[in-house]
């Protein structure tokens, strides 16, 4: 269903829900999940606290919705990588999609991956799960099957190393390097290409 298919009332409700999520995400970024207040969220968007409960019954529901929104956006970046790319190119583009998500959505990235008090808040949606960790596992397995990564490596170790590499790059860019006059996406691509080439040889 597109926005054009919604009634005016439904469109207003969708915009209000989005505003609530935006305000909650900003507050969690500032204070952590423990500092989230539904009353303060309502104040920030100039909405009544009672009206807020029509969208979210309590703080835990709102936190879960913010986390789910972040993971859904993240999964769309990964699922946007063409599956018909050659295996190593596909794995490389998955890494670049991860980094682009962080650069283009820094609040969502820091919230879902680097906020300690949200680590237990994981989305249950099957689409979201398929679009995050599982897609990396499949990308690694495709490279192993094609012989583009040495089978001397264990798949689980490769998944860990790939995730740690792109997550580390993303975190540094977002938290420390975002104001530098440098093309960190280009640097990331060069280094990921070198990382992938290095895995052709056994350890």
Q: Which domains does the chain have, with CATH numbers?
A: 1-57 (1.10.10.60), 66-198 (1.10.357.10)
**Cut 0.85: pTM above it:** no
* Measured CA angle at 140 (ends 101, 158), to 5 deg: 95
- In 3-state terms the chain splits into helix, strand, coil percentages (rounded to 5) of 75, 0, 25
What is the residue whose two structure tokens read 């599956």? 83
Q: Distance between CA atoms of 13 and 52, rounded to whole angstroms?
A: 11
Q: What is the pLDDT along the chain (203 residues), one digit of tens a residue?
A: 455 666 878 788 889 899 999 898 888 888 877 788 888 998 999 988 888 888 988 888 888 888 888 888 888 999 899 999 999 999 999 999 999 999 998 888 888 876 655 545 555 555 454 556 789 999 999 999 999 999 999 999 999 999 999 999 999 999 888 777 889 999 999 999 999 999 988 77
Question: What are the structure tokens assigned to 70, written together?
Answer: 């972040």
Q: Distance between CA atoms of 42 and 54, rounded to whole angstroms?
A: 12
- Is 114 in a helix, a strand, or coil? helix
The set of long-range contacts for 57-65, using a CB threshold of 8 Å and a minimum separation of 24, is 62/20, 62/21, 62/24, 62/36, 62/38, 63/24, 63/28, 63/33, 63/36, 63/118, 63/121, 64/121, 64/123, 65/21, 65/24
């Amino acid at each position: 269903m597109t926005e054009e298919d919604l009634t005016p009332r439904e469109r207003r409700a969708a915009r209000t829900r989005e505003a609530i999520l935006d305000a909650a995400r900003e507050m969690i970024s500032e204070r952590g999940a423990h500092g989230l207040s539904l009353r303060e969220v309502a104040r920030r968007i100039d909405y009544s606290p009672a009206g807020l409960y029509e969208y979210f019954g309590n703080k835990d529901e709102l936190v879960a919705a913010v986390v789910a929104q972040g993971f859904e956006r993240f999964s769309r970046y990964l699922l946007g990588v063409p599956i018909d790319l050659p295996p190593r190119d596909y794995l490389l583009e998955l890494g670049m999609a991860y980094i682009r998500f962080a650069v283009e959505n820094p609040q969502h990235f820091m919230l879902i991956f680097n906020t300690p008090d949200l680590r237990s808040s994981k989305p249950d949606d099957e689409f979201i799960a398929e679009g995050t960790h599982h897609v990396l596992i499949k990308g690694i397995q495709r490279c192993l099957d094609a012989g583009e990564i040495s089978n001397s490596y264990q798949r689980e170790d490769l998944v860990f190393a790939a995730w740690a590499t792109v997550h580390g790059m993303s975190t540094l860019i977002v938290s420390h390097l975002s104001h530098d006059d440098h093309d960190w996406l280009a640097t990331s691509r060069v280094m990921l290409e070198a990382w992938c080439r290095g895995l052709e040889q056994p350890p």
